[in-house]
Every structure is written in structure tokens, then in C-alpha cells.
Amino acid sequence: MRQNNEVILTMERVSFRYSPGTPFERLALIDIALRVMRGERVAVVGQTGSGKSTLAGLCNGILKPSDGNVTVFGMDTRGDAKIQKQLRAKVGHVMQNPEDQLFEQYVGDDVAFGPLKLGLTLDEARERARSAMAAVGLDFTEKDTPIYTLSRGRKRLVAIAGILAMEPELLILDEPTSGLDPLTAKSLLDSLSAMCEEKGTTLLLITHQLSEVLQLANRVIVMDHGKISRDGDPEAIFLAAEELPFGLDVPDEVIMAKRLQAAGVRIERKDWNAEGFAATMANSLLNREVKDGKLTKLE
């Protein structure tokens, strides 16, 4: 994983209020401090309403902090129109609702819209659209499909392709797999993972699925009522999962790893899968026996 010491995103004492000064005022983020380095893959998890999408919106300047500062690639997100343009070019944000960002009538036009806006030629934009569509598993012939005929899941894939086509340095995905079947979801994440690796893209992935965190992220932030309640290594945080805010489903592989560790069998993070569990257990049984439900070393 490419990663260096360049800080690309900073939040300092950031709070965010929706509809300030109205009866609908709502404090969505409270005193957030965050630093993201280039090349990191950060997952943001937490219950519905904990502030994940608001946090994402602050990262590319769609939302401005009510208090504190947000700096992205050295630019204050409160900056002028020129800065906003530069932010849009470097920060790609796939919103939670794909309908919020699809404007064109046909798939191809929508995916090529961003690259054209960046000033690329028609041919270049077409190439960008082609490879972005491939990356999300859409056939290029679908470029001529009217968007309104697509399911919500496929609209989401089009929205993701439209952002990938701009080749952002920071890619923010707000629940990208919701509405997708498990197989499509997994292949999308695999493909995004390969793309981030290849291009050195920094990733901020918002998700409900802790197993997606294990698949994709090297850092996890747990949001709870507008605050960051945990920030660190996914393995360590999930192994202490009973302390996590209510409402997060701990993935089976974490439960399994935890049970094995409690039984005295060490299992590395890379082996948290069916093959790894089987091999680890087989190996440990060669050297141990089960006594009173516990594994003990053979004399």
C-alpha cells in the first residue's frame, strides 16, 4: 500500500449545524479532529444519524464547517470559487443517494460529464468513461442506456463511474454498496481496491458493513452521536467490539478470530477467512488436544 507522510485532509475543532437559527437546527458534528494522510484507506462506520454523511460533505466543501477549520490539499474549504473548482477536481464524492448526482439523460454522457468539465477532449473523456465504467462492472455498450430505466443499484454504479472518471486524488464513497447484491458489491470493492492501489488514491469509505472495512480499509473511524468515538486499526477496534456503539454488526470473521484467540489460538489478520480459519485450526489441533472445551498443549 502506497502511503507517505503527506497530510491531505485536516479537521480542527470542527462542528457542523444544519439550519442554524431555525426551529430545525441540528448539531450534526461536534468538535471533530481528524488528519488523513495520502494513500490511507479510511472507513467511517457508525449508526444512522451519527454524522457520517455530514463528515463526508465537509471534505469537498459541499458543506462548510459551522466552527473550526477544514483543510484539504492545503486549501481551506471556505475558499473562493477558484478554490472550490480545484477542490472538486481533486476530491471525488459519491453521495449516499445516486439520484442526487445524476443529471444527464444517458449513462455515457453522465460518466463523461466530469472529465469534460475538467477540460479533457471528447476522445479523452470517452476513454476515461470507458475505463471507469469497466472498473464498476458496467459494459461500455450501456453508455446509450437512459438513466431513468436503471435500478437504484445500477444508478449507484453510474454515479461511482462518473466520479472515478475524474480520477480524484481523494475518493469519498458514501455507502457505495447499498442496494447492490453481495456478489456485485464484493467485485465493486475489489475493483475499487485495485484502482486505489494502482493510482495511489486516498479513500474515505462510509459503510454500515464492518466486513467491508476488513476488505478495504487500513484505518477505521467509528462515529457516535456526531463525535469520533474510535479511530485506529480495524482489527484492534473490532476485537474490542462489545465496546462499540450499539447498532453495528460485528462480522462473523471477527467473532471467529476472537473465539479462536480466547481458546489460545493465534490467528493473523490476513487469515481471517474460511481457508485461514480451517488451516489455523487444523495446524493447532496437530499440537494440541481439546480438554474441557479448551485447547491444551500436548505433553
Which residues of the chain form contacts with Mg ion (CB under 5 A)?
A: 52-53, 96
- What DSSP string describes 54-110? HHHHHHTTSS--SEEEEEETTEETT--HHHHHHHHHHEEEE-SSGGGG--SSBHHHH
The option from ligand ADP, Mg ion, none interacting with 184 (CB < 5 to 8 A, set by class) reads none
CB 288 within 8 Å of CB 296 = yes
Which residue lies nearer to ligand ADP by CB, 100 or 190? 100
Of the candidates 56, 59, 80, 85, which has an alpha carbon nearest to the alpha carbon of residue 166? 85
Which residue lies nearer to ligand ADP by CB, 23 or 119? 23
Which residue lies nearer to ligand ADP by CB, 24 or 148? 24
The option from ligand ADP, Mg ion, none interacting with 78 (CB < 5 to 8 A, set by class) reads none
**Cβ within 8 Å of residue 54, ≥6 positions away:** 16, 18, 28, 29, 63
Which residue lies nearer to ligand ADP by CB, 50 or 101? 50
CB of residue 14 to ligand ADP, shortest distance in Å: 13
CB of residue 28 to ligand ADP, shortest distance in Å: 3
Of the candidates 207, 98, 231, which has an alpha carbon nearest to the alpha carbon of residue 163? 98
CB of residue 42 to ligand ADP, shortest distance in Å: 15
Which residue lies nearer to ligand ADP by CB, 26 or 294? 26
CB of residue 129 to Mg ion, shortest distance in Å: 27
CB of residue 92 to Mg ion, shortest distance in Å: 17
CB of residue 32 to ligand ADP, shortest distance in Å: 12
CB 165 within 8 Å of CB 188 = no
By beta carbon distance, the residue nearest Mg ion is 53
The option from Mg ion, ligand ADP, none interacting with 46 (CB < 5 to 8 A, set by class) reads ligand ADP
CA gap 60, 77 in Å, rounded: 7
Tell me how far CA of residue 9 lies from CA of 5, 40, 55, 62, 170, in angstroms.
12, 11, 12, 15, 9
Which residue lies nearer to ligand ADP by CB, 54 or 209? 54
CA gap 68, 227 in Å, rounded: 14
Interface residues toward ligand ADP, by CB under 6 A = 18-19, 24, 26, 28, 46, 48-54
CA gap 201, 17 in Å, rounded: 30
